[in-house]
A and B are shown apart, each in its own frame.
Chain A
């Protein structure tokens, strides 16, 4: 793949004279991905808006290139900030597809890593490890979750610094080969960027993921259940509504992820209930109905998580 000199002052002889942006939009399949994004992802208005804008910019950029107008290779590295469970990874997947359709990355796969995958445990271990991941991510998107863990200011001999340097170098030199997305909590990403200005200047798109509202979470719950052929009874729906309200006040709330886990546990209870109470043959409707009691049995309602301080993460029973 040869990189023809960018920004040539005069249009090349074989440049087209007109481009049909609408047709371009159609042919590239970008519309399809954007529609999918709109359909599959609930809420996230500002995120969708940003992605739409970015897609438009890239589409226009590509058209300009075809007409021989000045264009530079766009910087596509991004940073996703937001609380856990707000859909950062899912959106990254869609972005990978989008950039692939637009021809900015060649393969369109997503390699999702955390600090452990990049940073080694002893001297000389980090560089090969980071390079290994980078090689794997070539032609696609490298998604670094909780990127701020790469940088440990309290330990100046931390190997994370080495990974950061390699990463920065590749982000600059292989801009045509891969797109890096850094993700994490907003405030900690901010500190991370302040102490690593190299990252900030190489990242063009900062996208902030807002928390879901209660209504959106309920909608997400129903979507998840529908995909698995379950449904909520009206009572259960009301119970879940209350569950979301209460759960949000408790520690380790992780938006959609908390809801998904709550539903998994509700399914567990439902299965138990069916097994305990079933006396005769039951039909598909009973098998797929989540009742209010399946949700109300949650520990969240009985004062909940404060009693499980020692337990890690989002696992209220």
Chain B
């Protein structure tokens, strides 16, 4: 099942050129770039693992692409996303986040509805790998 989180996730996967263009856009806005990966794309898992430090002083997107390449080499079978942080408000806020790498076989989420007292329904998402 295709995971849809963050920007562009309903589009076909971005090519490297497109990723580069998006990164360029982020840098043009003076946003810092961070790379994160995870093997648990459950929507409740908001904290992914950081790959290296966020990059605050890049001038050109090629720098971030080097890091992304290194991350793909190390965690090719994980989800990798790029976060862009905006610091105009005095703290780093995620302004943009998009997935740039997916495992070959993506896990499926199965939804179980359990009826409990009165008309309440409890919903559980379980990962099917």
Give A residues with C-beta under 8 Å from B: 1-2, 106-107, 109, 128, 131, 134-140, 174, 177-178
Contacts and interface: CB of A to CB of B under 8 A. Distances in A.
Contact of B59 (A1, A2, A128, A140): A140
A143 to B, nearest CB: 14
A174 B62 contact: yes
A138 B20 contact: no
A105 B42 CA distance: 41
A177 B57 contact: no
Interface string B35-75: 00000000000000000100101111111101100000000
Contacts of A106: 60, 62
A23 B72 CA distance: 45
B17 A2 contact: yes
Contacts, number: 43
Contact of B17 (A1, A135, A139, A178): A1
Contacts of A140: 59-60
Interface of B: 17, 20, 52, 55, 57-64, 66-67
A134 B63 contact: yes
B63 A135 contact: yes
A177 B63 CA distance: 9
A1 B63 contact: no
Those 7 A-B pairs whose CB atoms lie nearest each other, nearest first: A139-B60, A135-B63, A138-B63, A138-B62, A177-B62, A138-B60, A107-B59
Nearest to A136: B57
A138 B57 CA distance: 11
11 contacts: A107-B59, A131-B66, A134-B66, A135-B55, A136-B57, A139-B62, A139-B63, A140-B60, A174-B62, A177-B62, A178-B62
- Give the one of A1, A2, A140 with max B CB within 10 A: A1
A181 to B, nearest CB: 16
A142 B59 CA distance: 12
Nearest to B60: A139
Contact of B66 (A1, A107, A138): A138
A154 to B, nearest CB: 32
B61 to A, nearest CB: 8
A135 B20 contact: no
A95 to B, nearest CB: 16
A166 B61 CA distance: 19
A137 B59 CA distance: 7
A1 B60 contact: no
